[in-house]
Structure 1
Amino acid sequence: MRIDVRVGAEADELRSLHQWLGADREIRRSSSLTLQEQPPEPGHMGGLLDVIQLVTDNGWSAASFAMALAAWKRTRPQDPRIEIRRGDTVIVLTQGSDAEIERVIRALETSTEDEAPGT
Protein backbone atom coordinates (compact mmCIF):
# COMPACT_ATOMS: atom_id res chain seq x y z
CA MET A 1 0.00 0.00 0.00
CA ARG A 2 1.29 3.49 -0.84
CA ILE A 3 0.51 6.53 1.30
CA ASP A 4 1.57 10.11 0.55
CA VAL A 5 1.89 12.64 3.36
CA ARG A 6 2.11 16.41 2.86
CA VAL A 7 2.79 18.94 5.62
CA GLY A 8 1.87 22.60 5.26
CA ALA A 9 4.15 24.58 2.99
CA GLU A 10 7.47 24.27 4.83
CA ALA A 11 10.12 21.81 3.65
CA ASP A 12 11.65 21.85 7.16
CA GLU A 13 8.40 20.52 8.61
CA LEU A 14 8.31 17.75 6.00
CA ARG A 15 11.91 16.79 6.83
CA SER A 16 11.11 16.84 10.54
CA LEU A 17 8.13 14.53 10.10
CA HIS A 18 10.18 12.23 7.85
CA GLN A 19 12.84 11.93 10.58
CA TRP A 20 10.17 11.39 13.24
CA LEU A 21 8.47 8.60 11.30
CA GLY A 22 11.84 7.05 10.43
CA ALA A 23 12.72 6.91 14.13
CA ASP A 24 9.49 5.06 14.96
CA ARG A 25 10.41 1.37 15.24
CA GLU A 26 6.94 0.10 14.30
CA ILE A 27 6.75 2.24 11.16
CA ARG A 28 10.34 1.48 10.16
CA ARG A 29 9.69 -2.26 10.56
CA SER A 30 6.64 -2.37 8.29
CA SER A 31 7.20 0.34 5.67
CA SER A 32 9.74 2.21 3.62
CA LEU A 33 9.84 6.01 3.79
CA THR A 34 11.12 8.35 1.11
CA LEU A 35 11.04 12.09 0.57
CA GLN A 36 9.80 12.94 -2.91
CA GLU A 37 10.56 16.18 -4.75
CA GLN A 38 8.62 18.20 -7.26
CA PRO A 39 10.55 18.68 -10.49
CA PRO A 40 12.54 21.94 -10.46
CA GLU A 41 10.86 25.00 -11.90
CA PRO A 42 12.43 26.47 -15.04
CA GLY A 43 15.51 28.48 -14.09
CA HIS A 44 15.96 26.73 -10.70
CA MET A 45 18.68 24.25 -9.81
CA GLY A 46 16.75 21.76 -7.69
CA GLY A 47 13.28 20.59 -6.88
CA LEU A 48 11.20 21.36 -3.81
CA LEU A 49 10.44 18.72 -1.23
CA ASP A 50 6.81 17.85 -1.73
CA VAL A 51 5.74 14.64 -0.03
CA ILE A 52 6.72 11.78 2.24
CA GLN A 53 5.91 8.52 0.54
CA LEU A 54 5.26 5.40 2.63
CA VAL A 55 5.12 1.99 1.04
CA THR A 56 3.79 -0.48 3.58
CA ASP A 57 3.76 -4.25 3.92
CA ASN A 58 1.20 -6.63 5.42
CA GLY A 59 2.34 -6.02 9.01
CA TRP A 60 1.61 -2.30 8.81
CA SER A 61 -0.63 -0.68 11.42
CA ALA A 62 -2.80 2.33 10.56
CA ALA A 63 -3.17 2.99 14.29
CA SER A 64 0.61 3.18 14.88
CA PHE A 65 0.97 5.50 11.90
CA ALA A 66 -1.85 7.81 13.03
CA MET A 67 -0.52 7.94 16.59
CA ALA A 68 2.99 8.80 15.32
CA LEU A 69 1.55 11.64 13.22
CA ALA A 70 -0.40 12.99 16.20
CA ALA A 71 2.63 12.74 18.51
CA TRP A 72 4.81 14.64 16.02
CA LYS A 73 2.10 17.26 15.53
CA ARG A 74 2.01 17.94 19.29
CA THR A 75 5.74 18.82 19.20
CA ARG A 76 5.30 21.55 16.59
CA PRO A 77 4.92 25.18 17.68
CA GLN A 78 2.86 26.15 14.61
CA ASP A 79 0.46 23.15 14.54
CA PRO A 80 0.92 22.34 10.84
CA ARG A 81 -1.79 20.87 8.63
CA ILE A 82 -1.07 17.27 7.58
CA GLU A 83 -2.65 15.78 4.46
CA ILE A 84 -2.66 11.98 4.10
CA ARG A 85 -3.49 10.53 0.69
CA ARG A 86 -4.14 6.87 -0.07
CA GLY A 87 -5.37 6.47 -3.65
CA ASP A 88 -8.54 8.55 -3.91
CA THR A 89 -8.86 8.88 -0.13
CA VAL A 90 -7.61 12.15 1.40
CA ILE A 91 -7.65 12.79 5.14
CA VAL A 92 -6.53 16.06 6.74
CA LEU A 93 -5.24 16.43 10.29
CA THR A 94 -5.55 19.99 11.53
CA GLN A 95 -5.56 19.52 15.32
CA GLY A 96 -4.48 15.94 15.97
CA SER A 97 -7.56 15.37 18.13
CA ASP A 98 -8.72 11.88 19.08
CA ALA A 99 -11.59 12.20 16.59
CA GLU A 100 -9.21 13.11 13.76
CA ILE A 101 -6.85 10.26 14.63
CA GLU A 102 -9.77 7.81 14.65
CA ARG A 103 -10.88 9.15 11.26
CA VAL A 104 -7.37 8.57 9.83
CA ILE A 105 -7.28 5.02 11.17
CA ARG A 106 -10.75 4.20 9.83
CA ALA A 107 -10.03 5.68 6.40
CA LEU A 108 -6.70 3.89 5.99
CA GLU A 109 -8.01 0.57 7.28
CA THR A 110 -11.04 0.82 4.99
CA SER A 111 -8.91 1.56 1.94
CA THR A 112 -6.69 -1.41 2.87
CA GLU A 113 -9.67 -3.75 3.15
CA ASP A 114 -11.14 -2.49 -0.14
CA GLU A 115 -7.86 -2.90 -2.00
CA ALA A 116 -7.62 -5.67 -4.58
CA PRO A 117 -4.99 -8.34 -3.86
CA GLY A 118 -1.58 -7.53 -5.30
CA THR A 119 -1.96 -3.72 -5.29
Structure 2
Amino acid sequence: MRLEVRVGSAAGELRSLQGWLRADPEVRRSAVVGIEAGVPGPGEMGTGLDVLQLVTGNGWSAASFVLAVVAWRQSRPQRPRVEIRRGETVVVLTDCSQEEIERAVRALDAAEGDEGGDR
Protein backbone atom coordinates (compact mmCIF):
# COMPACT_ATOMS: atom_id res chain seq x y z
CA MET A 1 0.00 0.00 0.00
CA ARG A 2 1.09 3.58 -0.54
CA LEU A 3 0.66 6.78 1.44
CA GLU A 4 1.45 10.34 0.39
CA VAL A 5 2.28 13.10 2.87
CA ARG A 6 2.28 16.82 2.07
CA VAL A 7 3.71 19.32 4.53
CA GLY A 8 2.79 22.99 4.25
CA SER A 9 4.73 24.46 1.35
CA ALA A 10 8.36 24.17 2.42
CA ALA A 11 10.49 21.43 0.84
CA GLY A 12 12.86 21.66 3.81
CA GLU A 13 10.06 20.58 6.15
CA LEU A 14 9.31 17.57 3.95
CA ARG A 15 12.97 16.53 4.07
CA SER A 16 12.97 17.00 7.84
CA LEU A 17 9.93 14.73 8.16
CA GLN A 18 11.58 12.18 5.87
CA GLY A 19 14.63 12.07 8.15
CA TRP A 20 12.44 11.83 11.25
CA LEU A 21 10.44 8.91 9.86
CA ARG A 22 13.54 7.09 8.65
CA ALA A 23 14.97 7.37 12.17
CA ASP A 24 11.81 5.97 13.79
CA PRO A 25 12.32 2.21 14.32
CA GLU A 26 8.60 1.36 13.96
CA VAL A 27 8.24 3.25 10.67
CA ARG A 28 11.61 2.10 9.31
CA ARG A 29 10.69 -1.53 9.99
CA SER A 30 7.46 -1.40 7.98
CA ALA A 31 7.82 1.30 5.31
CA VAL A 32 10.11 2.66 2.63
CA VAL A 33 10.14 6.47 2.76
CA GLY A 34 11.05 8.68 -0.22
CA ILE A 35 10.31 12.10 -1.71
CA GLU A 36 8.80 12.35 -5.18
CA ALA A 37 7.34 15.10 -7.32
CA GLY A 38 3.66 15.47 -6.55
CA VAL A 39 0.85 15.45 -9.05
CA PRO A 40 -1.27 18.62 -9.21
CA GLY A 41 -4.68 18.21 -7.66
CA PRO A 42 -7.94 18.76 -9.51
CA GLY A 43 -8.16 22.39 -10.65
CA GLU A 44 -4.48 23.10 -9.86
CA MET A 45 -2.12 24.33 -12.54
CA GLY A 46 1.56 23.54 -12.98
CA THR A 47 3.59 20.94 -11.18
CA GLY A 48 2.53 19.65 -7.82
CA LEU A 49 4.51 20.17 -4.66
CA ASP A 50 6.86 17.44 -3.61
CA VAL A 51 5.29 14.68 -1.56
CA LEU A 52 6.70 12.19 0.88
CA GLN A 53 5.71 8.70 -0.22
CA LEU A 54 5.61 5.68 2.02
CA VAL A 55 5.32 2.20 0.62
CA THR A 56 4.24 0.00 3.47
CA GLY A 57 4.12 -3.69 4.15
CA ASN A 58 1.97 -5.91 6.30
CA GLY A 59 3.56 -4.76 9.56
CA TRP A 60 2.48 -1.16 9.05
CA SER A 61 0.63 0.48 11.94
CA ALA A 62 -1.45 3.61 11.31
CA ALA A 63 -1.19 4.50 15.00
CA SER A 64 2.62 4.30 15.08
CA PHE A 65 2.87 6.31 11.87
CA VAL A 66 0.49 9.06 12.98
CA LEU A 67 2.21 9.34 16.38
CA ALA A 68 5.61 9.65 14.65
CA VAL A 69 4.24 12.43 12.42
CA VAL A 70 2.68 14.19 15.43
CA ALA A 71 5.96 13.99 17.37
CA TRP A 72 7.85 15.45 14.38
CA ARG A 73 5.27 18.22 13.96
CA GLN A 74 5.52 19.16 17.64
CA SER A 75 9.30 19.48 17.28
CA ARG A 76 8.92 22.13 14.56
CA PRO A 77 8.93 25.83 15.50
CA GLN A 78 6.01 26.66 13.17
CA ARG A 79 4.13 23.32 13.38
CA PRO A 80 3.09 22.97 9.73
CA ARG A 81 -0.17 21.55 8.44
CA VAL A 82 0.28 17.90 7.43
CA GLU A 83 -1.91 16.14 4.85
CA ILE A 84 -1.82 12.34 4.60
CA ARG A 85 -3.43 10.56 1.65
CA ARG A 86 -4.10 6.83 1.48
CA GLY A 87 -6.03 5.91 -1.63
CA GLU A 88 -9.02 8.24 -1.72
CA THR A 89 -8.82 9.00 2.02
CA VAL A 90 -7.25 12.31 3.06
CA VAL A 91 -6.39 13.13 6.68
CA VAL A 92 -5.23 16.59 7.75
CA LEU A 93 -3.33 17.22 10.99
CA THR A 94 -3.54 20.82 12.15
CA ASP A 95 -3.75 20.93 15.95
CA CYS A 96 -2.86 17.31 16.78
CA SER A 97 -5.43 17.15 19.55
CA GLN A 98 -6.22 13.70 20.94
CA GLU A 99 -9.47 13.69 18.96
CA GLU A 100 -7.70 14.62 15.73
CA ILE A 101 -5.08 11.90 16.25
CA GLU A 102 -7.73 9.26 16.96
CA ARG A 103 -9.77 10.35 13.93
CA ALA A 104 -6.65 10.17 11.71
CA VAL A 105 -5.76 6.66 12.89
CA ARG A 106 -9.34 5.41 12.37
CA ALA A 107 -9.52 6.94 8.89
CA LEU A 108 -6.17 5.50 7.79
CA ASP A 109 -7.03 2.08 9.19
CA ALA A 110 -10.42 2.14 7.46
CA ALA A 111 -8.80 3.20 4.18
CA GLU A 112 -6.94 -0.13 4.08
CA GLY A 113 -10.16 -1.91 3.14
CA ASP A 114 -10.98 0.76 0.54
CA GLU A 115 -7.72 0.44 -1.40
CA GLY A 116 -7.75 -1.42 -4.67
CA GLY A 117 -4.88 -3.07 -6.47
CA ASP A 118 -1.41 -2.25 -5.17
CA ARG A 119 -2.23 1.19 -3.77
TM-score bin, normalised by smaller chain: 0.7 to 0.9
**TM-superposed deviation, 1:98:** 1.1
Q: CA deviation at 1:114?
A: 3.4
Aligned residue for 1:80, secondary structure, equals coil
1:101 alignment counterpart: 101
Provide the aligned C-alpha RMSD in A: 2.0
> Structure 2: where are the runs of 5+ without partners?
40-46
**Which ranges in structure 1 are unaligned for 5 or more consecutive residues?**
40-46
Identity among equivalent pairs (%): 56
Which amino acid letter does the alignment assign opposite residue 82 of structure 1?
V
TM superposition shift of 1:115? 3.4
1:95: Cα distance to partner?
A: 1.1
The alignment partner of 2:9 has SS state of coil
Instruction: Specify the structure having the higher radius of gyration (Cα).
Output: 1
In 2: Cα distance, 1:15 partner to 1:112 partner: 26
Distance in 1 (alpha carbons) for counterparts of 2:70 and 2:94: 10
Matched position secondary structure for 1:22? helix
C-alpha separation in 2, matches of 1:97 and 1:7: 18
1:58 shift after superposition = 0.6
Are the equivalent residues in 2 in contact too, given 1:37–1:48 (CA < 8 A)? yes
Contact 1:11–1:48 under 8 Å retained in 2? no
2: CA distance, partners of 1:75 / 1:69: 10
Map 1:1-119 → 2, pairs under 5 A: 1-38=1-38, 50-116=50-116, 119=119
The alignment's TM-score, normalised by the length of structure 1, stands at 0.86
Deviation beyond 2 Å, 4+ runs, structure 1 = 113-119
| Displacement after TM superposition at 1:102 (Å) | 0.7
The whole-number CA distance in structure 2 between the counterparts of 1:92 and 1:114 is 18
Q: Counterpart of 1:36 in structure 2: which amino acid?
A: E
How many residues align? The count is 112
Name the counterpart of 2:43: none
Post-superposition offset of 1:87: 1.1
**TM-score (normalised: structure 2):** 0.86
